[in-house]
Each structure stands twice: as structure tokens, then as C-alpha cells.
A and B are shown apart, each in its own frame.
Chain A
Amino acid sequence: MSAIDDLVTELARLPGIGSKTAQRLAFHLLKEPAEAAERLAQAIRRVRSQVMACGTCGNLADEDPCAICRDPRRDATLLCVVEEAKDVAAIERAGRYRGRYHVLGGRVSPLDGVGPEALRVGPLVERVRNGSGVREVIVATNPSMEGEVTATYLQQVLRPTGVRVTRIARGLPVGGDLEYADGVTIAQALAARREMGEE
């Protein structure tokens, strides 16, 4: 396979990139100065070698614990549970949340073979139980069926700890992922969160 074909194949494997776009990107990289392509290659290598999951919250970061877990100005009594690290990024972009996070690493999805035991639920319960001073857990899984059943399950496992468990409001469109919601919508959904188990 030629070097160009090789690159096109690799690019086309990325989500949302078809073969036409992959070709366009490949030729763009060839037209640009060599340094630009080298910077991209470096950035990809760096991200793979330096980024790790924070041992405390599961967020992706250059350091463990991550900057959010280390930041003393963040409210340690508030824990926001999300499916993926990219959801942390989305909420951080909205810029209103001052607590900490817990990344589950996915959501309950039986058809994909993902049960609760495949998620970071145990570490969440530990974090809440171990006198960490967490007073409220905000469940910010996506408003899909899988996100909802994950939220229900978390509420059930957290109940014995006595912590307050809230769910972000349905301001988010049903079926719409946090990742794609705008900052105002995320801020509203967080502000209008409700106690779980009241429905």
C-alpha cells in the first residue's frame, strides 16, 4: 500500500470521517509545510504517551491526580458523575460547575455486554463512603434509556451511604448527549437538578 493510501485508510477509521474527507485531509497535510504535519504527529504521540486516567476520578489528564482533583478551590462536597471523560470537558466548557467529578467509563448497555460491573461504580461508592465529605452526588449520565437506567442503578447503590443523590434536569433534549449540548443548556440542566427517587 502506498504511503498516501496508508494515511487515507487510517484517517478514514476516525469517527465521522468518510473516505472522501480522509483523502482531502491527506492531501491537505501534503500541501502544508512539513512542520505542520510533524506537529500533528507529535501531538498524537504525546497524547497517547502522556494522558492517563486520574486514579481518583477517572478523568483523562496529564497527571494523576488530575488538575480538578488537586484544585483546593473545587468544592469537594459535590460530585458530578458522568459517563465519559469527554462529558467532563463539556461541563467544564459550560464553566459553572465548581465541584468534582467521577467518570464511570461508560453506561449500562446490555446489548453491548456492558453491565454495572464493567463501570467504575465500586470506586464511586468508596469515594462517597470513605468519609471524604461528599454530601451530594449529581448524576449527569446522558438522557438516553441507557443513561437513565444507569442513573437509577447508581441511586440504588448509593442509597445506603445516605448521600444526597440528584439527577440533572431534563433540560437536555431526550436522546441528546451532554457532549453536544451547549454551555447554557448544560448550566441550566445542572442548576435545575432534582432529588432522585421523587418521581
Chain B
Amino acid sequence: MPLVATPAVVLRTYRYSETSKVVRLATRECGVQSAIAKGALRPRSPFGAGLELLSEGVAQLYLRDGRELQTLAGFDVANLRRELALDLGRFAGATALAEIVLRMAPAASHPAAYDALVAGLDSLVATGIAAADAAGIRALWRLLAVLGFEPSLRGCVRDDTPVDADHPVTFSAAEGGVLCERCAAERPEAAQTRLAARDYRDLLVLNDPTAPLPALDAKHAAAHRRLVARFVRHHSGEADRFPALELWERHSWAPLSPPQPVAS
């Protein structure tokens, strides 16, 4: 059985027994893998504190083709990302990224998707709470793009007619991009969203990793979260399997509302 060392991020952990964990890993060289970490829950485990959700390191895996559960021989943790636990919004965004890798990444090795995941997690750690939403939204769009779901934003998704960034525009989650005025009028559908000129420009900037993050107020951030979440649901084919994305999209924990008086 070959022993492979590959950069990896922990996407999911399950208790397997009193002493062992099963982890789902995004690996840079071997795609998404499930592996058993024997003894990971023992007090002085060789895995140390590394096998925690969203931590990154180098995984040593005994890989056997066709096996569903591989064996994790070691995990040299490089980045625990404990900072993400200090803010629920960023944590939810980070788990939404993990969820998209789990559900939408191909089984085979996909280094670009791995790099986009790591870059997204890093940006969530690096940005302050104020910019966390914009960072999360951009990270999701970038990850989707490398997974082959890049939205068409400059030209009409149907006929490539250039779309003017100074006017409101129609975005179709189902078709995967913006529509020119003629196409939008021709065949309106349920999955279309009308974007104000400003929201459209923000969407362009959110999809451009070289541009500074746009400042989004709570209302606009919510609209952009909804848009990308809707896009994911349309393109994954499994709309109901994204609980983390949904939690992040709704931000249902905030603002913390005072208890409502019971109507009598």
C-alpha cells in the first residue's frame, strides 16, 4: 500500500470509536478522501490537535484504490484556524466552503479547487468581521469558478451580448449568468433576480480576486449571499444538501432579537 503525503484540510470529523476518528479531507494531490485516524482521541495521540474541522496540514495517507475508507498515518498540522471560531459569521462561511468541496468537487485530484478552498479560508481569517461577508461571498464564487461553474457576468449568458454595468441587470441562477435586456424580456423565469446597477457592479467586483473587497451593508450582503446560495442550489442538483450554506445565507442568528411577548 503506497504511503502518500499531501497537503490537506479537514472538512468533517466523526467519532468512530472511543479512541478513533474518521475524517473527510480535502487533499491537494488526491481529491476528497475519507480516512480513519486510529487512536486520534487518545490523550497523547500522534495526531495531536490537528484533526479539527478546517485545520490544514500535511496528511500521510495509506491509499488503496477503490477503498472507501483510507488509513491516515499522520497529520502534521500547519494551521489550526482557531480564529474562525471567534465569529459565527466567518465560521459559517468557512463551513459553507467545506460543504461545497464535499458535495461538488470531483472525486479525482483537483489542486485548483484545493487552492481556492485554502485561499478562501485564509481570507476569512484575515478579514475583520466587517468585511467577513464580502470575503465569504467572494470565496464561494471563486471556488465555484474553479469547479467549473463560473457565472457569465460581462456578456449575456445566452447570446453573449455585452451587458452594461451602469444599468440594472437580470441574473439567472438557472442559466448561470446575466441576461441582456432582450433575452430577459423574452423568456422570464422564476430563478431570475433583478440586480440594481450597484449590486451588479458589486457582483463583478466580488468575482474579481484582484479588486479590493466591496463594502457591503447588511442588506446588500444578505442579497449577495442569497444570490450565490441560489446559484449553488441550481448547479449542484442537490438543493437540499447544503445545510451550512443555508445557515450562512440566512444568518438567522443575527440580529439577536429580544424575546417576543406571547400574544394572548
Contacts and interface: CB of A to CB of B under 8 A. Distances in A.
A72 interface: no
B82 A110 contact: no
Contact of B88 (A126, A149, A175): A149
A174 B18 CA distance: 15
B175 interface: no
B86 A122 contact: no
A111 B244 contact: yes
B52 A110 contact: no
A110 B248 contact: yes
Given A115-B253, A180-B41, A153 B49 contact: no
A117 B95 contact: no
Contacts of B86: 148-149, 152
Interface string A99-116: 000000000101111011
- The SS class assigned to the B binding surface is mixed
A195 interface: no
Interface residues of B, number: 35
Contacts of B48: 174
Interface string B51-91: 11110000000000000000000000000001011111001
B199 interface: no
A153 B247 contact: no
Given A117-B253, A173-B43, A175-B51, A111 B99 contact: yes
Nearest to B93: A110
Interface in A153-183: 153, 156-157, 173-177, 180
Contacts, number: 80
Interface in B217-264: 243-244, 246-248, 252-253, 256, 259
Interface in A110-154: 110-113, 115-117, 122, 125-126, 144-146, 148-149, 151-153
The residue in B54, B82, B87, B253 that gathers the most chain A C-beta atoms within 10 A of its C-beta is B253
Contacts of A157: 256
A172 to B, nearest CB: 10
A33 interface: no
Contacts of A108: 88, 91
A180 B247 CA distance: 30
A110 B92 contact: yes
Interface residues of A, number: 28
A175 to B, nearest CB: 5
B53 A144 contact: yes
Interface string B10-27: 001101011000000000
Given A149-B88, A152-B85, A111 B95 contact: yes
A111 B252 CA distance: 15
A173 B49 contact: yes
A153 B18 CA distance: 28
Nearest to B17: A16
27 contacts: A108-B88, A110-B248, A111-B12, A111-B95, A111-B244, A113-B243, A115-B253, A116-B252, A117-B253, A144-B52, A145-B53, A145-B84, A148-B85, A149-B84, A149-B85, A149-B86, A149-B91, A152-B86, A152-B87, A173-B49, A174-B48, A174-B49, A175-B51, A175-B52, A176-B43, A177-B15, A177-B41
Given A111-B53, A148-B85, A176-B43, 10 more contacts: A108-B88, A110-B96, A122-B259, A126-B259, A144-B52, A149-B84, A149-B86, A149-B88, A174-B49, A175-B49
Interface of B: 12-13, 15, 17-18, 40-41, 43, 48-49, 51-54, 82, 84-88, 91-92, 95-96, 98-99, 243-244, 246-248, 252-253, 256, 259
